[in-house]
Amino acid sequence: MQDVTIYIINGILLLGACLLCVSFFPIQRLVGQLPEGALRKRWNDLRALILFFIMGYVCFTFLYWMEYDNAFNLVVPAVFFLGAVLILFVGTLALQTAIEIKQMAALQYENVTDHLIGIHNRRYLDRRTEEEISRARRYDMQLSMLLLDIDHFKIVNDNYGHQIGDRVLMSLGQLLFREVRDTDIVARYGGEEIAVLAPHTSVSSAIELAERLRRSVEKSIMVPANEYEKRQAISITVSIGVAGLDKEVVDHQSLIHRADNALYGAKQQGRNRVVDFDSVKESS
């Protein structure tokens, strides 16, 4: 009976040590997916604790190998074994959770991002505009929207092809994203039209922002020259309509509609300019 007990105890210890070694793999994969920072450091600390636990296993096995005399000696090896099972379970579960969260984040990003330009899409714009309108009314804050359209974009597509046109759109989206504040929302409204939703921003400040963006686009090269393709550098201009939140704006659609009317006014007045909705309303 004693020999059987000894073999059982030693078997439990060896199996637990194997489980601890196996638990390194999911934790190693998990740490590899984490960015540098406090969270990654904590998981590295857990790896160090597992190593310490394995050393305890080794020391215990070395000191008491073949030294067990009754079934009561199963308690300590059993505790070691259950600890190894727990660590393996936690490491595997954490890795699976991290993978699924990463997949969910990727799906969420795809649902709110325009794949061509790399900025937010119309669905995200509609949702955020409705949210910002509610927040602005609740806390009596200002809110403005800019709607940009590339002037004569059809000529770019006709002369250089849609691939170059897509590169122009990507360059414009990146430029706008760099120029606006972190709190501003840049989204593709449709076609070559891009919206900028500016919370805590009055119409006068939005006009200044729109003018700054217009000048920045005008002096920038969207697609560099290519000697091999015998193509000159491509620059563009944009027309921008500006609208602000007031009591007559009932929902996100009416705010976008006002910005769209202002944009139409900018085109009618010769393009490459900024026009606000109030000036269009007064002239009509």
Catalytic center residues: 192
For residue 58 the two structure tokens come to 């080794």
Query: CA–CA separation, 151 vs 236, rounded Å?
Result: 7
